[in-house]
Structure 1
Amino acid sequence: MNAFAPQRPSLTVILANPRGFCAGVDRAIQIVERAIAKYGAPVYVRHEIVHNNHVVDRLKKLGAVFVEDLNDCPDDRPVVFSAHGVPKSAPAEAERRRMFYLDATCPLVSKVHLDAERHHAAGREIILVGHAGHPEVDGTLGQLPEGAIRLVETLEDAMGVEPRDPDNLAFVTQTTLSMDDTAEIMLALKTRFPRIVGPHGRDICYATTNRQEAIKAMSAACDLVLVVGSATSSNSQRLVEVAVKAGARDARLIDDAGCINPSWFEGVRVLGLTAGASAPEVLVEGVQDWLAARFDLSIDVAETARETVTFKLPRVLTQEAEPA
C-alpha cells in the first residue's frame, strides 16, 4: 500500500429497503421474456412495458419491439399490453384483427379499472386523481365512455370541481402518486362532498407506499438522496419529491451511475440510496460500485417493510406445450 496515497473521504450510505422492482413490474417483464422465448422474436409491446430505459433496451435486444399504436403491429405476431394498462379500445381492436395478445396490466391497476366500472354502473360521477398524459391515467379514462371520468391533478382542481350531483360522486386514483399529496386532495374532496365514495382500501399501490415510507424514514439524516429510475417513471419522480419534503438537503433522480455528477457530493457525509419500482437492482449495485471507487464507504440499511407479494403469469405462458 502506498503510504503517500491520498486518503479517500468517508461516506455513509443508507440503503432504503424496500426498493426497486415491485411484483407488477416483475410480472410484466416476465410476460415479455416468456412470450419471446415461447413464440420467438419479434414480440410487439404497446408502450414501454415499464418506465425504465435499461429494462426496455434489454428487452429490445431479446426481440421486443415497442410501439405506441396497434397500427404499428402486424396481425400475425404476439402483442403485449404494458403494465400501466390500456383503454378498452386496445384489446377490442386486437380482437377485431384476430391478434394474439397478452395483457401485462398490473393487477393493482386493473383493480382501479374495476372500481371505476363499478361506480359507473351504480350511476356515480367519477373523479380520477392522477397526472394527465400518464399511460396509466389514459388507460383508466379509457375504461368508460368519454366524459364519464373527470381528471383531477391538483388541490386547486379538487377545489374547483362542480359535479352534477354532489351526493352521487366517487373517486379513484393513479397507483403511483405521492401518498401525502394525494391525501391532501382526497381530504379536500371528502370535505366538500361528504358522501363521496372511495376505494375499499386505497388505490396507491403497496410498492409505491412502501418505497415512499422507506425514503421518509431515512431522508432527514441524508445530505443527498439518489433515486435510481428513469425520468418517465412517475413513482421514481415522487420518491425525489418525498425525500426533499422529508428533510433531505438534496435529492436527485438518476438513470444509472453514469449520470452521477461528482460535484453533488460537496459537503455530503450521509447519502441515501433507493430505486423506483421499475428500476432493476443491478443499477443500484452500479451506483454502489461508483461510490466505492471514490469513497471509504459505510453501509447502513433503513428497512421499513418486507414485501412478499407475487402475481401470477398468464396461464398460456406457464402451461406445458401440447404433445405433437
Structure 2
Amino acid sequence: MMAAPLTLYLAAPRGFCAGVDRAIQIVEMALEKWGAPVYVRHEIVHNRYVVDGLRAKGAVFVEELDECPPDRPVIFSAHGVPKAVPAEAQRRNMLHVDATCPLVTKVHIEAARHHEQGRQMVMIGHAGHPETLGTMGQLPEGEVLLVETVQDVARIEVRDPGKLAFITQTTLSVDDTAEIVAALRARFPAIIGPHKEDICYATTNRQEAVKAMSPRIDALLVIGAPNSSNSKRLVEVGARAGCAYAQLIQRAADIDWRAIDGARAVGITAGASAPEELVREVTDAFAARYDVTLEQVETAQENVEFKVPRILREATA
C-alpha cells in the first residue's frame, strides 16, 4: 500500500532563542571550568530533554539555594530570579553565575527605574511562572501588581493612578497582551509603557510564523514543554488563527496519529527552549508513516547572540 501524501510545513523561526542558547552554554562552560557537580536553581530552560542532557553531564537541578552545598557553583535559570536570591548567595559566599536572559534583565532594569521614580508597577504575566516571580521579586512587596487577564485590570487597586507603569512577561501572546494593555490604558490613561515592547523578539517571531502557516494547514503540532509559557502560547495562537487541531507535544511519541488522520497538511513549530533534534524526531516519525513533502514557512531571520558572563569567558580563554 502506498503511503498517503502529506505536506509538512516547518515554521521558521522555531526552537532555540538566543537567551536559551546562552543559558545552556553557561551550564556547559561551568561544568568544563569547575567540573561536576554544578548546581542549577530551577530548570535552566523549560525542556525535559535539555535538562536531562545537562543532568547526564553533571548538572544538579534544585529549586532553592538551601539545597546547594556552599562550595559548589550555582547557576540561576534563564527565567530570572528575585533579588533576594543572588543577595543570599553572596551572603553565603557562594560562587554564582546568572544565566538570566538579557531580555528579561532589561525588564528588571525597567521596573527598578520606574520604582526609583515613585511609580507603582503593573505586571502582565502568569502567576507562579518563574519569570513572573523573578521580575516581581526585583521590587519590594506590593510594588508590583500582577494582572493575567482583561478582567483582572478592572479589579486591581492602585496607590495613585497618576504614578503607574506597566511591564510584561517576555513570553506572552502578542495579541492577548495588546488587549490587556488597551484595558490598562483605558482605565489608567496616565500609565507609562515600555519604550520597546517587553515581549521578546523570539516569542513574537514564533507567533508570527504560526499565523502565516495557519491558513495552509489542517493541524498544528508545537514541540515544547507543558510548563513552557511561550510554547503554550503558540498552541493558542494556532487555534485562534483557525487551526482545527493544535496540540503541544514534548516528543514524537506524544503524537496522536488518530487525531490527524486524513490531514493533508500539518504545521510544525517548536518553542524557544525546544532543541532542533526534537523537530527532526517528529519529521522522521511523519516520514515513516506518510509520503512527506517538507516546506519551510519563513517569516523572519534571527541573528541575535548574547555573550556569556565574563567569569566563564576568562577561565576558558
Among 225, 231, 234, the alignment partner of 1:236 is: 231
Contact 1:221–1:248 (Cα < 8 Å) also in 2: no
1:1-324 matches, cutoff 5 A: 6-320=1-315
After TM superposition, the structure 1 stretch with the greater mean CA deviation from structure 2, 223-232 or 157-166, is: 157-166
Q: Deviations over 1:21-61 (max 9, x none)?
A: 00000000000001001100000000000000000000000
Q: Deviations over 1:247-295 (max 9, x none)?
A: 1111110001011121122221110000000000000000010000000
Shift of 1:220: 1.9
Q: Deviations over 1:122-148 (max 9, x none)?
A: 001110000000000000111011111
Q: Secondary structure at the match of 1:12?
A: strand
TM-score normalised by the chain length of structure 2: 0.99
Shift of 1:165: 1.3
2: CA distance, partners of 1:33 / 1:320: 13
1: CA distance, partners of 2:156 / 2:44: 33
1: CA distance, partners of 2:182 / 2:221: 31
TM-score normalised by the chain length of structure 1: 0.96
Shift of 1:159: 2.0
1: CA distance, partners of 2:293 / 2:304: 30
Contact 2:44–2:77 (Cα < 8 Å) also in 1: yes
| 1:14–1:98 distance in 2 versus 1, CA, 3 Å | same
| 1:210–1:321 distance in 2 versus 1, CA, 3 Å | closer
Contact 1:19–1:276 (Cα < 8 Å) also in 2: yes
Contact 1:237–1:253 (Cα < 8 Å) also in 2: yes
After TM superposition, the structure 1 stretch with the greater mean CA deviation from structure 2, 265-274 or 81-90, is: 265-274
Show the counterpart of 1:3: none
Q: CA RMSD in A?
A: 0.9
1: CA distance, partners of 2:72 / 2:314: 20
1: CA distance, partners of 2:315 / 2:32: 13
After TM superposition, the structure 1 stretch with the greater mean CA deviation from structure 2, 160-169 or 202-211, is: 160-169
Shift of 1:160: 2.0
1: CA distance, partners of 2:316 / 2:213: 49
2: CA distance, partners of 1:319 / 1:218: 44
Q: Which runs of 4+ in 1 moved over 4 A?
A: none
2: CA distance, partners of 1:236 / 1:143: 25
Contact 2:122–2:164 (Cα < 8 Å) also in 1: yes
After TM superposition, the structure 1 stretch with the greater mean CA deviation from structure 2, 158-167 or 276-285, is: 158-167
2: CA distance, partners of 1:169 / 1:139: 20
Contact 1:176–1:204 (Cα < 8 Å) also in 2: yes
Shift of 1:320: 4.4
2: CA distance, partners of 1:45 / 1:164: 37
What is the identity, as a one-letter code, of the residue corresponding to 2:177?
A: T
Q: Percent identity?
A: 62
Contact 1:14–1:272 (Cα < 8 Å) also in 2: yes
What is the identity, as a one-letter code, of the residue corresponding to 2:21?
A: D
What is the identity, as a one-letter code, of the residue corresponding to 1:111?
A: K
2: CA distance, partners of 1:34 / 1:173: 31
Contact 1:109–1:175 (Cα < 8 Å) also in 2: yes
| 1:115–1:321 distance in 2 versus 1, CA, 3 Å | closer
1: CA distance, partners of 2:189 / 2:118: 17
What is the identity, as a one-letter code, of the residue corresponding to 1:189?
A: L
Structure showing greater Rg:
1
Aligned residue pair count: 317
Gapped regions of structure 2 (runs ≥ 5): none
